Amino acid sequence: MPIRLDGFRPEYLDFERGVRVGHLEPHERITQMLKLSLEERYRQTFVTDRWGRGVYWQWICFLPKANRLAKPLSSHVNFGCAKFFIMVDTTERLFKAGMQIERGFVQASAYPNCVLAEDWDWHRLVAGVRPRSRLFGELKRLVCEEEFQMTAGNFDKLARYNSADFPTAGALRDALVRADGASWAGFQLYYPMTQEEVKSSRGQDLVEAMLAIFEEVTPAINECMEVKLTVEQLTS
């Protein structure tokens, strides 16, 4: 049965409260639409996670379960995995969709599952950020040619990059590795949409745009995962 994408409405992306997921029919929920669409496209099971509670969530992610299970130390930890994400940034008043990789904490924390382990995808990200690497080439293409943006480092003082100030590989790597170990850190590559762009779009067009963005970042996210999303699965 075809996956329904026509139940989503632009107003479910609320720039004051977040992404609406509660008090909706199943075919209206963006979590169901994206999860089922990703599983159909990649022929893999995806895990959904989120930040938020109640009717509105601020951030939602989708990660390949096989990649998490492949980790010898962290097979139960979503934080260790590269993931697709969507969010309504109520501070910047932007809707963002793309890929995210978390470093978590380096130093001991009250939340042991949030402390960086040896098998987290973060290490592949850092190792892959070097001149002439496939990963860095993909980041440069998406930011400089496709109007994506990046953030890197501690979430409370992120380094931000767009096409006008795209960093060298060394500068981006520094932003990643020099993040304070006592604070939460990570990396995002995303396509931003303004409130006006969201409001002027049809709901189905927005869902299809999210899926297209995920497809665009797939070569980059593959460079950071143990279990890849293959081209054959992507185009089937």
For the chain, give the mean pLDDT: 95
Residue 170: Cβ-neighbour burial (10 angstroms; 0-12, 13-18, 19+): exposed
Mean pLDDT of 67-85: 97
Mean pLDDT of 7-30: 96
> pLDDT digits over 157-216, tens only?
899 999 999 999 999 999 999 999 999 999 999 999 999 999 999 999 999 999 999 999
Q: Determine the pLDDT at residue 235.
A: 46
Whether domain 10-227 has CATH 3.30.70: the reply is no
Alpha carbons 161 and 82: distance in angstroms, whole number: 20
Long-range contacts formed by 232-235: CB under 8 A, 24+ apart: 233/41, 233/42, 233/43, 233/44, 234/41, 234/42
Q: Determine the pLDDT at residue 146.
A: 98
pLDDT of 24 strictly over 50:
yes
Q: Determine the pLDDT at residue 232.
A: 53
Spans of all domains in the chain = 10-227
Mean pLDDT of 82-105: 97
